[in-house]
Amino acid sequence: MSDADEPTRYRRMQDLPSTHLLGSGTSLCAGCGGLGAFRELYEVLGERTVVVNAAGCMSLLATHPFTPFRGSWLYSAMASAPAGAQGVRDALDILIAKRRIPADEDLDVVVLTGDGAASGMGLSATSAAIDRGLDFIYLCYDNEGYGNTGQQSSASTPHGARTATDRGPRGYPGVKKDLFALWVANRPAYAATIIAAEPVDLARKVEKAKRMKGPRLLLALAPCPPGWGFDPKDSIEIGRLAVRTGVWPLLEYADGRVVRTKHYEPRLPVERYLERQRRFAHLFEPRRDEQTLAAIQTAVDEACARVT
């Protein structure tokens, strides 16, 4: 039995860590779904980590002289956080191999990136890190746009969503890039979709990823109150709806296959998710855009049918 197959510590909400490892006082928005996911992840991952941050909302997690981390952090740049992770990983390996530091000074290397960098500028650096088999965890908080600059569309924006750069009646004309599938196609050690609204599922996946080596993706849908247009208090509710409608299926890739880790059957219609967000309001008012609504539902149905 490999480490990764050890039984989980996280079966119920009560099993989750009760100590908050990430400090409060950061400048992220109230109700941030990305911060929620990252905080939950950090609690499981622990402080023996160095987080290499790509430019995005999380750039300002640490602002001199204030840091929320118990462990380490390096701010790199938008395009090359995985390369920064490679540099730190390689340096630690060298230092330990040459016995310049004891092995217990080692750290887990984590990339923290938004979807804009992950699916755009940073994609080649990410792809290359997977090619090299870099031993790292890659956390993408996917708020489906360039959130830190006011929610312009990114390659991860869903079809039909209004963004600061898609103000027309049909919203974003493209289709959300499937970052999970891109990773899986590169056969990483591990890949999973997570969300703050499902903390037990999240904790189990982080726990599993932590026990493995190689490139590991944790892709978190990050409900964004200002960018998506909903009240901050609904951050968890929106996340739950994303899962229960099948918009954000909770997936896991390991040992060559993709499985669904949590089922909600029957799925709720996607409208229940869409109608709660101002970025989709034009699909309902002044009149219902049946064509787009049907297209979104069909796309979700097809995606859900592809995994068991």
Partner 1 sequence: MSRVLLSGNAAIAWGARLAGVDYVPAFPITPQTEIIETLAGWIGSNELDARTVMFESEHSMLTAAGAAASTGVRVFTATSSQGLLYAMEMLYSVAGWRAPFVLVNVSRAVAAPVTLHSDHGDVLAARDSGFLQLHAATCQEALDLVLLGYRTAEHPDVRLPALVNLDGFLLSFTREPVELPDPELARRFVGAFEPGASAFRASRPVSQAVAVLGGGPYSYFRYEMHRASEHAGTVFADAAIELEAATGRANDAVECYRSDDAEVVFFLIGSLSTTAKDAVDRLRESGTRAGLVRPRLLRPFPTAALRSALHGRRAVAVVDQDLSIGSGGVLHAELAGALHGQAGAPLLASFIGGLGGRRVGVDELCSISGEALEAASAGRPPAPRLLYTEAELREVRKLQAIAHEERHR
Partner 2 sequence: MYRIRLHGRGGQGIQTGARILASALFVEGFETQDSPLYGAERRGAPVSATVRAARAPIRERGLPARADLIAVGDESLLGVAAAGVLRDADERSWLLIRSGVAAEIWRSRLGRSERVATFALEVEEGAELPLVGAACAGAAARMLGVVSRASLESALERELAALSAQARAASAARAFAAWDELAALAGCVTEEPAPIGAPLPRPDWVDVPLDPADVAAPDIRVPLTSVQVRTGLWRTLRPVIDDALCRRCSWLCSSFCPDGAISIDPDGRPCIDYDHCKGCLVCAAVCPPHAIRVEREAGRATEPEKVG
Name the site residues for partner 2 (rule: CB under 8 A).
13-14, 16, 18, 20, 22-33, 35-36, 39-40, 47, 60-71, 196-197, 199, 225-226, 231-237
Residue 214 makes contact with partner 1 by CB under 8 A: no
Output 189 or 203, the one with its CB closest to partner 2. Answer: 203
Output 130 or 218, the one with its CB closest to partner 2. Answer: 218
Residue 93 makes contact with partner 1 by CB under 8 A: yes
Output 106 or 271, the one with its CB closest to partner 1. Answer: 106
Give helix 33-45 / helix 235-244 axis angle, nearest 10°. 80
Q: Out of partner 1, partner 2, none, which partner does residue 32 contact, by CB within 5 to 8 A per kind?
A: partner 2
- Tell me the C-alpha distance between 58 and 74, whole Å: 12
Least gap, CB of 131 to partner 1 (angstroms): 8
Site for partner 1 in 123-182 (CB under 8 A): 124-125, 127-128, 131-132
User: Which residue type sits at 130?
Assistant: I
Residue 60 makes contact with partner 1 by CB under 8 A: yes
Output 65 or 286, the one with its CB closest to partner 1. Answer: 65
Task: Please confirm whether the linkage preceding 17 is cis (ω < 30° from 0).
Answer: no
Q: Are 212 and 189 in contact (CB under 8 A)?
A: yes
Q: What is the DSSP letter of 168?
A: S
Closest CA to 248 of 162, 165, 150, 144: 144
Least gap, CB of 84 to partner 2 (angstroms): 15
Q: Out of partner 2, partner 1, none, which partner does residue 125 contact, by CB within 5 to 8 A per kind?
A: partner 1
Least gap, CB of 71 to partner 1 (angstroms): 5
Torsion-angle region of 187 (φ positive above 0: left; ψ -120 to 50: alpha; else: beta): left
First to last CA, the chain: 25
Q: Out of partner 1, partner 2, none, which partner does residue 7 contact, by CB within 5 to 8 A per kind?
A: none
Q: Which two tokens stand for residue 36?
A: 């929620």
Q: Out of partner 2, partner 1, none, which partner does residue 202 contact, by CB within 5 to 8 A per kind?
A: none
DSSP string, 26-83: --SPTT-HHHHHHHHHHHHH-SSEEEEEPSSGGGGGSBTTB---SSEEEE--SS-HHH
Output 190 or 273, the one with its CB closest to partner 2. Answer: 273
Q: Out of partner 2, partner 1, none, which partner does residue 284 contact, by CB within 5 to 8 A per kind?
A: none
Q: Are 304 and 250 in contact (CB under 8 A)?
A: no
With CB under 8 A as the contact rule, the residue among 95, 236, 303, 307 that binds partner 1 is 95
With CB under 8 A as the contact rule, the residue among 12, 98, 99, 167 that binds partner 1 is 98
Residues 6+ apart with CB under 8 A from 257: none
Q: What are phi and psi of 73, to 5 degrees?
A: -155, 140
Exposure b/e, 47-62, CB count within 10 A at least 16 = b: eebbbbbbbbbbbebb
- Tell me the C-alpha distance between 8 and 234, whole Å: 29
Q: Catalog residues that contact partner 1 under the rule CB under 8 A.
A: 47-48, 50, 52, 59-60, 62-65, 67, 69-77, 79-88, 90-95, 98, 100-101, 104-107, 124-125, 127-128, 131-132
